Amino acid sequence: MHTADVVVIGAGIAGASVAARLAPAAKVILVEREDAPGYHSTGRSAAFFAPAYGNEVVRRFTAKSESLYRSPPDDFTDVRFLNPRDVIFLGRADQAATLAAQEEEVSDLERLDVDGVIRLVPVISRTYADAGLLDAGGGDLDVDAILQAFLRAFRRAGGELVTNAEVLGLERSGDRWTVRTSSGEIGAGAVVNASGAWADETAGLAGLEALGLVPKRRTAFLIDLPADVDSRDWPLVVDADEEFYFKPDAGRLLVSPADETPSAPVDARPEEIDLAIAVDRLTRATTLEVARIHQPWAGLRTFAPDKTFVVGFDPRAEGFFWLAGQGGYGVQTAPGLSAFAAELVLGNTPDSVDADLVQAIDPARFI
């Protein structure tokens, strides 16, 4: 049997980043069911960094992640992780209260009237839009480069990635876990459950009752823009109630109906109805016409009931650590969340400034 100090289950951005943080201090094996890391949610995101997105806890972990994305160390990557792109939260007249509440809650947002919005995104319909809030701190992320950089750092620190290794059983005996996978058994002192949409199922393998994490399907696709439209510098445009968003993507426009349909943990596929809803919302908000949809895809965003992360040891099973519930923010928060999680796994006390965060993300709140 192979042995390790820690087995991390799932090689999406959550598992890869925490494995990289842990490997300098512990012997870590990262196991992934698929034949390549990042196949599920991580490979299907809209690849955006939006500081104003999510609740206060999410925003604090986004802030903790910003420096690694804006100025990564030379030995971590030689490509740019983040290319700046603003965000506009777009409101109709009947969404004025939503925009006002967001403006109140998040500092650093600039209010735009409809002319200001149209100056930045000329295809916005003047009869549809009323106002916008501009967040100038956003950016496009190179998710694959980020994932590969974490995996490289992990391997350099002596970590071992095993793909095609589905975890099928988790048994605790004495002070050790036996992790039974489709490619052999591993003994370890601790397991980190970073299995994304499968996190509750993975806990079930250890005999633990589910915490109520719900995977929710989100759909996206690309459309062509008219030849005379230069969209390169457009911001990401998000509806104030998050009912759709769009952003430039390599000469095309990435569009999403911002759907949140509860789903079993599966290899998610786009549904026709969600594509149609997105086209309807986009064409009402803009002067664009959609002749053809390219490369539709869907992925799962997995949420705890309070839409906050689930990170910490499970009080019901010694050495069982949760790193789950990243919802729609798992990429933009990965550097900060993984550093924080690694400290907890290693038994170090986080900075007293952040003691409230330990409570806010503690799995015990659902037990």
Ligand X SMILES: Cc1cc2nc3c(=O)[nH]c(=O)nc-3n(C[C@H](O)[C@H](O)[C@H](O)COP(=O)(O)OP(=O)(O)OC[C@H]3O[C@@H](n4cnc5c(N)ncnc54)[C@H](O)[C@@H]3O)c2cc1C
Residues making contact with ligand X (CB under 6 A) = 9-15, 31-34, 39-42, 44-48, 166-167, 194-198, 202, 218, 220, 299-301, 326-332
Amino acid at the residue 137: G
Helix (H, G, I), strand (E, B) or coil at 166: coil
Angle subtended at Cα 236 by Cα 91 and Cα 333, rounded to the nearest 5 degrees: 110
Kindly give, in sequence order, each residue whose CB lies less than 8 Å from that of residue 360, ignoring residues fewer than 6 positions away.
Answer: 57, 308
Looking at the Cβ atoms of 131 and 342, the one nearer to ligand X is 342
Nearest distance from C-beta of residue 13 to ligand X, angstroms:
5
For residues 89 and 208, give the distance between their C-alpha atoms in angstroms, rounded to a whole number: 40
Looking at the Cβ atoms of 46 and 304, the one nearer to ligand X is 46
Nearest distance from C-beta of residue 116 to ligand X, angstroms:
24
Nearest distance from C-beta of residue 6 to ligand X, angstroms:
15
Nearest distance from C-beta of residue 99 to ligand X, angstroms:
21
Looking at the Cβ atoms of 118 and 162, the one nearer to ligand X is 162
Angle between helices 334-345 and 143-156 (to 10 degrees): 30
Looking at the Cβ atoms of 21 and 40, the one nearer to ligand X is 40
Helix (H, G, I), strand (E, B) or coil at 209: coil
Nearest distance from C-beta of residue 311 to ligand X, angstroms:
11
Quick one: residue 149, left, alpha or beta (phi over 0 = left, psi -120 to 50 = alpha)? alpha
Looking at the Cβ atoms of 132 and 257, the one nearer to ligand X is 257
For residues 323 and 363, give the distance between their C-alpha atoms in angstroms, rounded to a whole number: 9
- Whether residue 310 contacts residue 213, with contact meaning beta carbons closer than 8 Å, is answered with yes
Angle between helices 56-70 and 334-345 (to 10 degrees): 100
Nearest distance from C-beta of residue 334 to ligand X, angstroms:
8
Looking at the Cβ atoms of 91 and 299, the one nearer to ligand X is 299
